[in-house]
Amino acid sequence: MTVARDIMTPDPTCVKEDQTLVEAARLLRDLDVGALPICGNDNRLKGMLTDRDIVVKCIADGGDPSTVTAGSLGEGKPVTIGAEDDILKAMELMQKHQIRRLPVIDDHNLVGIISQADIALSLSATATGETVAEISEK
């Protein structure tokens, strides 16, 4: 059985909940990624932040990304998966919640992220296609 830990990208960099969106945008740029986990000062996952969130939820609404914090854009309880959970469960969660990145948790700690690319590199073309289609459906 393939589990989340087997295909995840390990040791993700977090943006802290009290960092500004300018700092978050620089992290996104420097890491060449489109999303970052938002971690609290207790190192617990608070949400996910995307480059699109910065543009749509801050800049487009006239917000100041040099004062708005990453934590202010974290909405609701993040959808996560356990590190030892079956990869089929990960695919199901991604499809059900239409999310492109799934944080992986082990003993309440963020240990990795599963992205659509991780799915594509690890599973069959059919499984990958079905997952991407379901995530993108609106």
**Does residue 132 contact residue 91 with C-beta atoms inside 8 Å?**
no
96-127 burial, b if ≥16 CB within 10 A, otherwise e?
eeebbbbbbbeeeebbbbbbbebbeeebeeee
pTM listed for this prediction: 0.84
pLDDT in tens, the chain (138 residues): 889 999 999 999 999 999 999 999 999 999 999 999 999 988 789 999 999 999 999 999 999 999 999 999 887 789 999 999 999 999 999 999 989 999 999 998 999 999 988 888 877 666 666 666 666 665
Is residue 119 within a helix (H) or strand (E), and if so which, with residue range?
Answer: helix 116-122
- Domains, the chain, in order of start with CATH, read 4-136 (3.10.580.10)
Q: Within 13 Å of residue 104, how many CA atoms lie on the same side as its CB?
A: 25
